[in-house]
Amino acid sequence: MELREILHLTPYKLLQGSLDIEVDDIAFDSRKVTPNTMFVCIPGFKRDGHQFIPQSLEKGATVLVVEKEVSHIPENVTVIKVESSRKALPQLSSIFFGEPTKDVNLIGITGTNGKTSVSFLISKILRTAGRKVGVTGTVCKQVGDKVIPFDTTTPTTPEASDLQRLFKLMLDEGAQDIVMEVSSMALELGRVDACRFKVGVFTNFTQDHLDDHGTMENYKNAKLKLFNRCEANVINLDDPLSAEILEIATGSIITYGINHQEADLTASDIIISAEGVRFTMNYNGDEQCIFLRIPGKFSVYNALAAAGACLNLGITLKEIADGLAAVKGVRGRFESFHTPGGYSVIVDYAHSPDSLENVLTTVREFAKGRIITVFGCGGDRDPSKRPNMGKVAGQLSDCCVLTSDNPRSEDPIKILQDIEVGIKETNCPYKKFVDRKEAIYFAMQSAQPQDVIIIAGKGHENYQEIKGTKIRFDDAEVVKEFLSIGQK
């Protein structure tokens, strides 16, 4: 595409070179530059993209988008100055990739917990109704049955140019709808700025990501950014933040809730069992019996959130019920394993105090034996959640096994000590194993019939990140391995 065209919605100053040149790609990372790429220099948290101009030129960049003074740039390279290159990237990328979100129903989901789960439910409902759906989130990027390979460092919500490229690819594959997890960091950094959202979904808001945002106020303000830009919004009325969202939300609104019967979408006659949740979904005088094979009250919320999004696309309540009934489970979300020893193991991605509390409360509702919780807390992430998670786990378990969950650059023993502060406030007995495999083996060896072991925090993850290296590690694989070597 011609540079002049890519720039037509962005205020800029031409510092040197021509606007009448063809651009073949856009990159914000010099390592991804190929010939005729527009390299957008972003000042980052650790480094500054402007430093990597020489590397980008070596790889064939012919256009530089900068926000700072630059010098000694070869004459044949065009230099464009903008006020903020991070802010310019979404618009430039959207135009370059043909404004893909104009031609598709884009559904964005935000909230502390449940984004991956809700996006998976929405996708299942839409696919069961015969639609071609793109999904992008923590676990995968996919369109229809086709998994799109992405390197493992790609965030939950990719950087603007990667995101628009992904949308274009999904459209080329025939996607009619795209379901996207929208992380608070993506909202804060404007990664989704040039996206046209058909529906915005709010799940809930509790403590998380203080390491990224500093304060809960900043974290909240980042989340709010989704709701004044969607054609329709789906809002959890049971969450205290809903009042603020309703004040700023534009477009049509569907509210949902269990405690607020005045919500547009509600659930009644809820039955929660080890197999899943069963309830009646009510909307505008219509009702449908719902069965979803993921246990926990939070699954009722997730089902309502997904239903709200689908209703906005003209999907019927009956189609929603059929789609939810077709869900077999979400990878690493309350994934159950039965054992010859008569106890069960659940692998779950709960890694915040609220999600851990939800998952353990759910297990409490049906566990006949003891609850043994194996968990840790991530390194280089908000340390204030560690004692909170320790306390929640101690209060709701009969025994805990503290272990590592991506210690990253931190000392794993220190992380366990931080968790211990909280668990010591309870009477729960616990053990500590830095090695996660040993922790899981210990829990399984100690389990008795009817016990339930929850292995929390890593869900679908297939690595353990220690000192900058990702070592293969998969909770579910370790469980299967333990059982395959003839252990009980």
Ligand X SMILES: CC(=O)N[C@H]1[C@@H](OP(=O)(O)OP(=O)(O)OC[C@H]2O[C@@H](n3ccc(=O)[nH]c3=O)[C@H](O)[C@@H]2O)O[C@H](CO)[C@@H](O)[C@@H]1O[C@H](C)C(=O)N[C@@H](C)C(=O)N[C@H](CCC(=O)O)C(=O)O
Ligand Y SMILES: N[C@H](CCC[C@H](N)C(=O)O)C(=O)O
Identify which of residues 193 and 382 has a Cβ nearer to ligand Y in the complex.
382
Cβ at position 364, least distance to ligand X in Å: 26
Selected binder of ligand X within 5, 24, 34, 44 (CB under 6 A): 44
Cβ at position 472, least distance to ligand ATP in Å: 20
The answer to the question of residue 116 lying near ligand Y (CB under 6 A) is no
For residue 276, give both structure tokens: 């899943």
List of E strands, 30-85: 37-40, 61-66, 78-81
For residue 335, give both structure tokens: 């994934």
Q: Which does 378 bind (CB under 5 to 8 A by kind): ligand X, ligand Y, ligand ATP, none?
A: ligand Y
Selected binder of ligand Y within 180, 406, 430, 444 (CB under 6 A): 406
Site string for ligand X, 125-164 (x = CB under 6 A): ----------------------------x-xxx-x-----
260 Cβ partners below 8 Å, 6+ apart? 237, 238, 266
3-state secondary structure of 125: helix
Closest alpha carbon to 258 in 273, 242, 244? 242
Whole-angstrom Cα distance, residue 425 to residue 180? 39
13-16 and 25-27 strand pairing: unpaired
3-state secondary structure of 61: strand
191 Cβ partners below 8 Å, 6+ apart? 90, 157, 158, 159, 160, 163, 185
Rounded to 5, what percent of the chain is helix, strand, coil? 35, 25, 40
The answer to the question of residue 110 lying near ligand Y (CB under 6 A) is no
The answer to the question of residue 458 lying near ligand Y (CB under 6 A) is yes
The answer to the question of residue 288 lying near ligand ATP (CB under 6 A) is no
Closest alpha carbon to 374 in 395, 338, 401? 401
Whole-angstrom Cα distance, residue 210 to residue 215? 6
The answer to the question of residue 30 lying near ligand X (CB under 6 A) is yes
381 labeled part of a ligand binding site: yes
Q: Which does 357 bind (CB under 5 to 8 A by kind): ligand ATP, ligand X, Mg ion, none?
A: none
| Widest pairwise Cα distance in the chain | 75
Identify which of residues 139 and 171 has a Cβ nearer to ligand Y in the complex.
139
Selected binder of ligand Y within 264, 405, 451, 474 (CB under 6 A): 405
Only segment of 113-121, 192-200, 245-253, 390-398 that touches ligand ATP (CB under 6 A): 113-121
Binding site for ligand ATP (CB under 6 A): 113-117, 138, 156, 181, 203-204, 298, 301-302, 333, 348-350, 354-355, 358-359, 459
Binding site for ligand X (CB under 6 A): 28-31, 42, 44-47, 49, 52, 153, 155-157, 159, 183, 185-186, 212
Binding site for ligand Y (CB under 6 A): 351, 378, 381, 405-406, 457-458, 461
Annotated binding site for meso-2,6-diaminopimelate: 381, 405-408, 457, 461
